[in-house]
């Protein structure tokens, strides 16, 4: 297949925005796969800020980072992503180059604990304030469950109304697949 799948395309977008020494955010660390990816991209002199409300996510991500000797590049917060502006040091505001969200629930975890449109929209608004120009926010939207469909239905009108002078907004989606496949919303700050 010549078209990138959803997760490879999400990573391609993030990688296009990051260089060694940069700052990045994993807004939903989950099992730590994206956190590890970001930590490799920012290199020894970069920093990744990771957020999650679940102890299991913090533990899984910490273990994954330790296994690759990359924990020192990452600051993990056992907090929701709607608290990112108050937890990322002010001297890093205006310098964040990329952020990624995997919305929904923790794979292999409690499926009743899900991201919500209120906190996700708050986090997006905060990121748009504190990101560097040309910084990219990537949202991977899993909408194959009731709460995911609700979040999708609130997020799409929100991102469509973002002023085009403030950001470019892209939707990347396979439209002929069954079972509500995930899709991407990418927001590039202008």
CB neighbour list of residue 179: distance below 8 Å, 6 or more residues apart: 144
CB contact at 8 A, 51 and 81: yes
Residue predicted with more confidence, 170 or 110: 170
Would you say residue 1 lies in a domain? no
State the pLDDT at residue 2: 87
Distance, in Å, from the CA atom of 86 to the CA atom of 79, rounded to the nearest integer, reads 11
Would you say residue 8 lies in a domain? no
What is the mean predicted confidence (pLDDT) over 96-109? 94
* Residue 168 in this model has a pLDDT that exceeds 90: yes
Quick one: what percent of the chain has pLDDT higher than 70?
100
Domain CATH number, residue 83: 3.40.50.150
Would you say residue 184 lies in a domain? no
Which of 116, 87, 91, 94 lies closest to 103 in space, CA to CA? 116
pLDDT tens readout for residues 158-167: 999 999 999 9
Would you say residue 7 lies in a domain? no
CB neighbour list of residue 19: distance below 8 Å, 6 or more residues apart: 41, 43, 97
State the pLDDT at residue 151: 97
Domain range for 150: 15-164
pLDDT tens readout for residues 6-40: 999 999 999 999 999 999 999 999 999 999 999 99
State the pLDDT at residue 180: 93
Query: Domains in the chain: how many in total?
Result: 1
The count of other CB atoms within 10 Å of the CB of residue 2 is 3
> What's the pLDDT band for 1 if we cut at 50, 70, 90?
confident
Helix (H), strand (E) at residue 96:
strand 96-102
CB contact at 8 A, 13 and 5: no
Would you say residue 190 lies in a domain? no
């Amino acid at each position: 297949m010549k078209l990138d799948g959803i997760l490879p395309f999400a990573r391609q977008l993030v990688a296009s925005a990051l260089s060694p020494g940069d700052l990045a955010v994993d807004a939903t660390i989950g099992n730590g796969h994206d956190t590890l990816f970001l930590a490799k991209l920012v290199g020894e002199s970069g920093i990744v800020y990771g957020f999650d409300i679940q102890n299991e996510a913090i533990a899984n991500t910490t273990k994954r980072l330790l296994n690759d000797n990359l924990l020192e590049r990452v600051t993990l917060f056992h907090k929701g992503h709607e608290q990112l502006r108050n937890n990322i040091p002010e001297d890093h505001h205006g310098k964040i180059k990329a952020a990624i969200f995997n919305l929904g629930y923790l794979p292999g975890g409690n499926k009743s604990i899900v991201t919500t449109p209120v906190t996700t929209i708050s986090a997006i608004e905060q990121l748009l304030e504190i990101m560097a120009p040309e910084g990219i926010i990537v949202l991977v939207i899993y909408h194959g469950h009731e709460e995911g469909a609700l979040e999708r239905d609130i997020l799409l009108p929100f991102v469509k109304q973002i002023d085009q002078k403030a950001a470019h907004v892209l939707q990347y989606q396979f439209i002929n697949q069954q079972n509500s496949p995930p899709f991407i919303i990418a927001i590039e700050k202008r």
